[in-house]
Amino acid sequence: MQLSDVDLNDLDRFEAGQIHDQFKILRNEAPVHRHRGAPGQEDYWCITKHADLKRISKDPLTFSSEEKGTIIIDPEPETLPGLRQIMLNMDPPRHRQYRAIVNKAFTPRMVSDLTDDVDRIVTRILDNVCEKGECDFVNDIAAVLPMEVICEMVGVPEEDRRAIYELGNKMVGFDDPDLNPEGRNPGTGDDPQAASAEMFMYAAKLKEIYTKNPADNLTTALLNAEVDGHKLSDLDFNSFIMILAIAGNETTRTVTTNGMIDLMNHPSQQEEIANDLSLVPTAVEEILRYNPAVHSFRRTAMKDTVIRDVEIAEGDKVILWYPAVNRDEEVFDDPDTFDIRRSPNEHLSFGVGEHFCLGSNLARMELRKIFEGILRRLPDMEIAAPPRRLRSNFINGVKELRVKFTPTERVG
C-alpha cells in the first residue's frame, strides 16, 4: 500500500476491519497528513502519532472541541448551539464546570461501591445464555452489563432500558444502513436526528419522574446541580442524560465485543487467562489498546499553528485517530501483536487531557468483571460466524457476533 491508496472516508474498509495498513503508512510517511474530505465535507488533517494526539488533547484553547463538535461529520450551522450543550463538545472553562457536576459519581470509591451489583448482573447475564451453547455475544452479553449499570445510575426504569439502548445505536451508527436506513439525510424520521430528539423527549420524562420523587441517582443530582448559581436549563439537562446514556453504554459494549473477538482469535492466550484470572487486568488494558471503542474525534484549530513542521491554519479540521496512535512503533514494541501480558501499556483509548474519559474507572471495572465471568464459566467460547461490524469511521463497533461454547449450568 502507498500513501496515495489511503482513504479514511471509505467506510467499507472500516466495516471489513482493514484499516491498520493505512494507519501504518500515515505514521511512517505522513504523520500529519492532509486528507480530502468525504463528498460535501471539509478536508482534514490526520493525526496518527501518539505524542501528537497527546499534545493536541492537552491544548484545548488551540484545538477546540466546541467550535464544530467532535465527530468527523461537519455539523450544519443550525445544529451547533445544541451540539455545544453536550459536555463532550465543550471547551474550558465551561467543560470543567459541567464535568464537576457528575464527576463524584465516577470516583474510584463510588465505582468500588458498585462492584457487588456488577457481580450480580454478570452472573445473571451468563445464566441467561450458559445452557444454550450459543448466542449473539453483542446483544446477549456485551450490551447488557453497561446498559444495566448506567441505566441504574441514571434511574432509567427497567421497562425503558432496551429503548434507550436502541436509540443509542442509531445515534452512533449514523453511517450504517442497518441502523439508519435513511442515512444522514432524514426522510422518514428514522435517522440520527430523530433519535436524538427522541432521547431528549425521554430525558424530559426522567426529569418529571425525579422532580416529583427525588432519588439517589444521577438524574436527581443533575436536577439539583447549579452552574454559576443557576440550575441546568432543559437543554443542558437533556444533553447530560443523552451523553451519559450513550457514552456509558456504547463504548464499554464495543470494547467487550472487540476484546472477546481478539481473545478468540488468539486461543492460546484465551486459555492462558482462563487458567489464571489474575491476568485479566493486563489483558483488559491490551484489549483497550488493540481495538479501541472510538476510531476518531475531531478538533478545530483556533489559530495558526505548527505540528511536526506542518502548518495548520486557523479553522482547519483536525482528526485524532485512536487506533493509529495505539499502534505507534515509537511507543509500543511489536504493536500489531496482541499480548495479554503487555506492560507498560500507554494506550490512549480513554483519551488524555481535558476530555479524559470520565467513566474510565467504571469501564475498567465492568470489563474486568465480564471477562472474569466469561473466562471462568464459558472458557471455550469460539466464533461461530464472522462478526458483522459497524460501517463507521467514528465508532469501532460490532453489530452481531455469533459465538458457541460448551453448555454449562446456571449458578444464580
pLDDT (tens digit per residue) in 62-90: 999 999 999 999 999 998 998 998 999 99
Domain 3-404 in this protein, CATH class: mainly alpha
- pLDDT above 90 as % of the chain: 80
pLDDT reported for residue 167: 84
Q: Which long-range contacts (C-beta less than 8 Å, at least 24 apart) are formed by 408-411?
A: 408/130, 408/131, 408/377, 408/378, 409/130, 409/131, 410/127, 410/130, 410/131, 411/123, 411/126, 411/127, 411/377
pLDDT tens readout for residues 368-407: 999 999 999 999 999 999 999 999 999 999 999 999 999 9
174 pLDDT band, cuts 50/70/90, is: low
CA 128 to the chain's CA centroid: 26
Please indicate whether residue 187 or residue 329 has the higher confidence score (pLDDT): 329
**What is the CB-side half-sphere exposure of residue 198 using CA atoms within 13 A?**
17
Q: Got the DSSP string for 266-300?
A: SHHHHHHHHH-GGGHHHHHHHHHHHS-SBSEEEEE
pLDDT reported for residue 248: 79
pLDDT reported for residue 191: 58
168 pLDDT band, cuts 50/70/90, is: confident
**Rounded Cα distance, 51 and 57, in Å:** 10
pLDDT reported for residue 190: 46
- pLDDT above 70 as % of the chain: 95
pLDDT reported for residue 10: 97
pLDDT reported for residue 169: 76
What is the chain's mean pLDDT, rounded? 93
Mapping DSSP to helix (H, G, I), strand (E, B) and coil, where does residue 319 land? strand
Which cell numbers in the block locate residue 8?
479514511
Say yes or no to pLDDT of 412 above 80.
no
Which cell numbers in the block locate residue 312?
495548520
pLDDT reported for residue 186: 43
Angle at 69 between CA 306 and CA 203, to 5 degrees: 155
pLDDT tens readout for residues 303-362: 999 999 999 999 999 999 999 999 999 999 999 999 999 999 999 999 999 999 999 999
> Phi and psi of 92, rounded to 5°?
-70, 155
Q: Which residues partner with 311 through β-bridges?
A: 306
Say yes or no to pLDDT of 184 above 60.
no
Domain ranges of the chain: 3-404
Closest listed residue to residue 270, CA positions, set 370, 376, 346, 366:
376
pTM given for the model: 0.93
188 pLDDT band, cuts 50/70/90, is: very low
Mapping DSSP to helix (H, G, I), strand (E, B) and coil, where does residue 118 land? helix
